[in-house]
Amino acid sequence: MKTRRDFLSQLGLGAASAMSIPLLSSFESDSSIKDVKKTGIITEERPELLVPNGNALRITGTFLDEISHDIPHQNWGEKEWDRDFAHMKAIGIDTVIMIRSGYRKFITYNSEYLINKRGCYKPGVDLLDMYLRLADKHKMKFYFGLYDSGVYWDTGDMTTEIEANKFVIEEVWKKYGHYKSFSGWYLSGEISRKTKGAIESFRTLGQLCKDVSGGLPTFMSPWIDGKKAVMAASGKLSKEDAVSVQEHEKEWGEIFDGIKGAVDACAFQDGHIDYDELDAFFSVNKKLGDKYGLECWTNAETFDRDMPIKFFPIKFEKLRLKLEAAQRAGYQKGITFEFSHFMSPQSAYLQAGHLYDRYKEYFGIK
């Protein structure tokens, strides 16, 4: 038996060795396998897409979600933020928007007013100064996001946000307005239709920003009250009482008419409507913007609202559909909520770096 086992063992090894010769030769001729030997990474050529490459509005701006509301904090310091600004710049982002300078008691800069009069916590570092220095370094435009007291979220009344921001706007311009990158203001209240006090609040705050800064532009980013406009804490993904295109046009026509001159651009959040509704709503938004003198931007959300887990980076195909619709509608600028969590190669989410790569492939960015 020992002799027989030895014979079979030797036979098997010989056969395997013989069979491996042509296979290894074939593998050796494959450049990707040669790369594996050198780096341990398989490289593949990009597959041809079934749709035209780059036929969409590019993302050229992003929110900076440092004072997070419902997104996990990544605990970055200046080194990580500097690296992220470089990643943004590499795909053509030229504008960064601090989504809010504070939320309830957490704030981004050492505000005497918010600490002494509103009881806010003193921040450990001046994040506003850091963002402005990095924007200067990377030659980007910086938009300052106003303070969010949280009272609006509790009461539904936007007018409560006016009082605190009167002081914040003046304080920030006095302390930080000298930065070259300080290019505008973001009216950070997230509203939709029929929000109490919306017209008065946005008109008042937009005009205050302009008066203080010599006319720097202002913009807002409301949400469309579509089928996916459900609370983040809700277990539901959609609702029945979604707004119609006709209602949306009527109600937002009234809002735009009331804020014209004080607000320069509107970037509707694009994730609350379904993908086959994009063209209808986007065309109405552009029509309203043209009529009332507001630039029409899109807030192309790079997180997925279609999943029960909130929130993960979006599938590239979904982002592509939204950016292509924005291009068809003639939108002037594409911004996103938001690059650092959902699209950055150094995000805590592994999928974000892959979204970054797919985006670069689609637009032919090296």
Task: Encode pLDDT of 165-184 as tens digits.
Answer: 999 999 999 999 999 999 99
Q: Is 299 helix (H, G, I), strand (E, B) or coil?
A: strand
pLDDT tens digits, one per residue of 179-224:
999 999 999 988 887 788 899 999 999 999 999 999 999 999 999 9
Three-state DSSP at 165 gives helix
Give Cβ neighbours of residue 364 (< 8 Å, ≥ 6 apart): 53, 54
Q: How confident is the model at residue 44 (pLDDT cuts 50, 70, 90)?
A: low
- CA angle at residue 73 from 303 to 132, to 5 degrees? 90
pLDDT of 103 above 60: yes
Please tell me the predicted confidence (pLDDT) of residue 236: 81
- Residue 297 clears pLDDT 90, i.e. is over it: yes
CA distances from 248 to 124, 156, 285 (A): 43, 19, 9
pTM: 0.86
What average pLDDT does the segment 269-273 reach?
A: 96
Strand, coil or helix: 350: helix
| Residue 22 reports pLDDT greater than 60 | no
Ordered DSSP codes for 52-98: -TT-SPPEEEEEE--S-SSS------HHHHHHHHHHHHHTT--EEEE
Amino acid at 270: D
